[in-house]
Amino acid sequence: MKSLRVPFENVGLNESYLSKLETLLEVGVEAEIDQLNWGDQFPKRLPVTVRLAHDDEVLYLLFVVEGELLRAENIEDFGSVWEDSCVEFFMQREGSKEYRNFECNVLGAMLSKVQESKGTGVLQKDVMKSIYRHSSINHRYEGDKEVSDWHMYLEIPKHAMGFEEDERLSGRKIRGNFYKCGDNTPEPHFLSWSPIDSPTPNFHLPEFFGEIIFDE
C-alpha cells in the first residue's frame, strides 16, 4: 500500500491566493499521479503531480498537469466533470464504509458525493460553496498541436471530508487516492497515485486506496 505524509503548515495565515500557493510549493509534500492502470486500453500518459499540506482546518492541494489536449464543457457544479480535463481526490475515514469523492475539471466545476460504491450516495451540496478553487491555464504548441499546462488549487475544509468541528486533522490517518482523467477528451486517460487492479477503468474502489497521514 502506498503511503503519504501530509505536513502541518499554516498555509491559511497567508492573506492572498498567490502567497498561499507560494507557501504550498515550498513546504507541501508532492505525489506523482503516474499509475497507468489500463495502458492497453488507454495508453495516454501525462506528467501529473499533486502537492499537499494541512493546517488542522483545511487540506490544501495543488494539482499540476502538463501537455494536455483540453476539454472543458461542464461549467456548473455536479455536472459530468470527469468527461472533461479533470483531477480528483477520493478519501475514506478509518472504520467507515463511506468514502467521499472530490472531482474538479479545469474550469473549477466540481462534483462531490458521500457514497459506498459507484453510482450511489448523496451529493454534498451543502459543502460545495466552502471548497475554494482556483485554476490557471497556459497554452503552448508541441509541433503543430496546441496543448495546455494547467494547475488546480483547492482548499477542502475538514467538514467537507466528514470531520466534526472539534476534531483535528493532525495525527489522523485516512485512506485515499488521487486521479487524473478525461473520459471524453481528445486523448482519453485514467491515471492514479495508488495503483488499481481492475479490468476496466474504475476509480470507485476503496480497497485500492493508499494511506494518507496528517502530520502534527
d(CA 73, CA 71): 6
The mean pLDDT value for 83-107 works out to 97
pLDDT, greater one: 145 or 29: 29
Range of the domain at 151: 3-214
Using one digit for the tens of pLDDT, what is the confidence trace for 149-166? 999 999 999 999 999 999
pTM for this model (two decimals)? 0.97
Using one digit for the tens of pLDDT, what is the confidence trace for 110-122? 999 999 999 888 9
Find the CATH number of the domain harbouring 156.
2.60.40.1190
Which residue is it, cell 458525493? 113
Residue 15 has a pLDDT of 85
d(CA 3, CA 210): 6
Residue 119 has a pLDDT of 84
| Count of structural domains, the chain | 1
Report whether pLDDT(88) > 90: yes
CB 105 within 8 A of CB 84: yes
pLDDT-derived band at 31, boundaries 50, 70, 90: very high
Burial of 84 (0-12, 13-18, 19+ CB in 10 A): buried
Report whether pLDDT(168) > 90: yes
The mean pLDDT value for 131-148 works out to 94
